[in-house]
Chain A
Amino acid sequence: MCGIIGLLNKDGKRIDGRAIKRGLSIMNERGNGQGAGFAAYGIYPDYEDYYAIHVFLDNMKEAKTNVEKEIERWGYIVYSEEIPTNDIRTFEREQIPYRYFFKPDTRKLLGHNYDEKDAVVKMAMRINSKREGSLVFSCGKNMGIFKAAGWPEEVADFYRIENYDAYMWIGHNRYPTNTPGWWGGAHPFGLLDWSVVHNGEITSYGTNKRYVESFDYKCSMLTDTEVVTYLFDLLVRKHGLNPVLAGKALAPKFWKDIDRLPQKERLHHTALRMAYSSAELNGPFAVIVARSEGFIALTDRIKLRPLVLARKDKTVYVSSEEAAIRAMEPDLSELIYPTAGEPLVETLDVVV
């Protein structure tokens, strides 16, 4: 089932995690305690030039040594520590969340046709497919994902998200459809500064997964949502599509509607469907895809999953349920009901 939620302050004003915890908990009916998570942007201003690599470690011995060895093959660990957590009684502590502030070694890129961001992606894919006791679950600059197998309040308290100040938060309350709750399977899924939360099930997963894997992404999290992250990274970062076009590729208009568009738009939509046929997402979904500049909200073409957006002053909210938004902000100035399959993009008005 799942519940998703997000908020963005377009002026870059930061708030702590209490609001999103409150909003997400209203939707506990949509989850079943098998996973919850948050992504927060703007939380590491002192390390904003470094990639904040969040890792789950199975143990503090070989798992830690192995992952550090791999990270150091690609660059320098400038600072590292266990992510501060609380002891939550009702919560199985399966893994140790750790963070590394990392700078890629640009000398290692000479002679290769990939850049720094590609290097970080390759590093994360390698660690996650090798499975030597560690898993990278967040690897962007000045942002971080915090997730585990538990209820939103438990996960929020575990990670002490009230101690982080972010201009954008997204959150997820999980009711897994196909895999048991495990920390790696909780949302958000992240890659670089992308983070994705998703409600629904992707029936085209087999097609999408094979498409992204032919471009060196590796789906290792046993959850369909992971592929949405890689699709956005591929289409937006690697191919240079703007997020609205990427959204239109992933949730394309129906041919019956494309056939009636004026010539230029008809060409664009036809080209998107032709070139990106294997990127198209099918099945019920509502997703919030965040990156440093803001978020993209998208539903499937026949709106099988709910989504509502709202505004109050310079903050924009998005969630599966209006009540969850009102739990964060009771006094809203505008409610927006998205059209099925139409991407809604909200971005910062300032540079942070």
Chain B
Amino acid sequence: MSSHYTPPKYDVSVDPARCRLCGRCIENCSYDVFRKSGDKILTYPNNCVVCHRCVAYCPANAIQIKKVSTPYRDHPIWNNEVRQDIYNQARTGKVILGGMGNIRNYPPIFDRLVLDACQITNPSIDPLREPMETRVYLGKKPKKLEFTGKGDDVELKTELSPNLKLETPIMIAHMSYGAVSLNTQLSFAKAAKNVGTFMGTGEGGLNQKLHDYTDNIIVQVASGRFGVNPDYINRGSAIEIKVGQGAKPGIGGHLPGEKVNKYISETRMIPKGTDAISPAPHHDIYSIEDLAQLVRSLKEATDWKKPVFVKIAAVHNSAAIAAGIARADADGVVVDGFRGGTGAAPKVLRDHVGIPIEAAIASIDQKLREHGIRNEVSVIASGGLRNSADVTKAIALGADAVYIGTAALIALGCRVCGKCYTGLCPWGISSQKQELVDRLDPEVGARQVQNLIEAWTHELKELMGAAGINSIESLKGNRDRLRGYLLDSNILDILDVKTVGA
């Protein structure tokens, strides 16, 4: 105890009437909340992170977790969280680290956008019985097509750049091997293959066990260049240069040493137990023309056979940056909004830096159109997309496709407790401890993620059909099918969306 003692947020109790003393809670909890004492299970709730592992595995439903709070006097600005952060920093003198995405109460713009449906003036379309197309091609497209010949006997003269073919616009986001476990990545890879979409390696390299799935894997080249060798970039179906991510715009990846075991060490080529920090910028990209060099050097290294995407965090100047990326020979821009997840990020960056994905996509789409180049590159949105409605709205705002990160983890069982950086994830999702990782069966995990993507894809088709659209190209950037509800006129202008009733 100390003068900065923070009372526990949760109370964990075991009902002795129900408890069978099987000890599963003790085995399963990574945080040492439970211990046996005689014929009782005692709890130390200060450690509880509400990961739900114990509740899920107790065969007798004997465990109850309650939120408790020792009240502070209410104050509009010196709230509990603010006070506790100061106690923490006074005690430690350090930067507060957090996991997962932005926890501040900024209202999600998606929740203030509604979609259109057809009534009378044109028919809605039944996605079950009539064709409803969600196939997407990601990559560079020609400005126009040139054909030689006449009538039916024509030949395409224009050469097409390599593109990725997706059967659904939903892809699985980049989460590095290190941040997440190998079994997590295997689950994603199998799901992507079965659905006909792609997953990202993240910046942690490509473990050998994923080699069978590279037809559905995009490899990432981030500032730390972990695992980047010719084999890596040639195996991937596409390459993504990660410049930034929504959870921590302006800084690089951060894998705490606790999670750097011998396999991570081998894949990333760094000493075991050290923190794997990626530099803030790529140290060969200090300006937009440098980016063009990196894009072209990667294309040269892969004989121009792989699409190269560039991922940025959504920041104020995203639209202009995206235009620059498009002109730098990149095949697409990936933009990650301020709700993006992470295994570890300084809380202050996670919560206060970056802009919402809705605004970023809308302004990037518009800027690229103003330059007359929107149809030549792909735009991919990510950052806190929670359901098929968010996906549909993101496409209507201008995205060709989306990445889902946190949602895919939740499909595997993640409870978003936000403690990924400890390496103690009891679900085996974001830990590197083998006994924990073994808890996640990739076949089961793959099935769950596949289910999620298929269910969302079906809902997307229902929404498209209701709006009288039977191919996803006609939803892309179609702001007219959105309306803003209780959004101010400035943000409506940026989104190029009218208000409800208009």
Contact = CB atoms under 8 A, between A and B. Distances in A.
Please tell me whether chains A and B touch each other in their complex, using a CB distance cut-off of 8 A: yes
A82 interface: no
B146 to A, nearest CB: 7
Contacts of A282: 468-471, 474
Contact of B469 (A204, A252, A277): A204
Given A211-B369, A239-B144, A254-B131, A273 B473 contact: yes
Given A204-B478, A214-B372, 13 more contacts: A205-B478, A209-B480, A211-B374, A241-B144, A244-B151, A268-B154, A271-B156, A274-B163, A275-B158, A278-B477, A280-B474, A283-B122, A284-B468
A112 B374 CA distance: 24
A276 to B, nearest CB: 8
A178 B121 contact: yes
Contacts of B145: 239, 241, 245, 271-272, 275-276
Interface in A192-227: 200-201, 203-207, 209-211, 213-215
Interface of B: 118, 121-123, 125, 130-131, 133, 135, 137, 141-147, 150-152, 154-156, 158, 160, 163, 369-372, 374-375, 467-471, 473-481
A273 B142 CA distance: 11
B372 A215 contact: yes
A91 interface: no
Q: What are the 9 tightest A-B residue pairs by CB atom distance, in nearest-first order?
A: A206-B480, A204-B474, A282-B474, A206-B478, A277-B473, A214-B369, A239-B144, A201-B122, A177-B121
Interface in A268-294: 268, 270-278, 280-284
Contact of B141 (A201, A267, A274): A274
A201 B478 contact: no
A282 B471 CA distance: 8
A261 interface: no
A214 B370 contact: yes
Given A203-B467, A211-B369, A214-B374, A274 B137 contact: yes
B230 to A, nearest CB: 29
A244 B152 CA distance: 9
- Categorize the interface residue count of chain A: 35 or more
A240 B146 contact: yes
Nearest to A176: B121
Nearest to B139: A274
Contacts of A209: 480
A267 B150 CA distance: 17
A275 B137 CA distance: 10
Contacts of B476: 207, 277-278
6 contacts: A207-B478, A242-B154, A270-B137, A276-B375, A282-B471, A304-B122
A260 interface: no
Contacts of A278: 374-375, 473, 476-477
B217 to A, nearest CB: 22
A283 B469 contact: yes
Contact of A284 (B122, B155, B474): B122
Interface string A290-301: 000000000001
Contacts of B371: 214
Nearest to B152: A244
A280 B471 contact: yes
Nearest to B371: A214
A281 B469 CA distance: 9
A301 B145 CA distance: 22
Nearest to B366: A210
A157 to B, nearest CB: 30
Contacts of A79: none
A346 to B, nearest CB: 14
A239 B156 CA distance: 13
A262 to B, nearest CB: 13
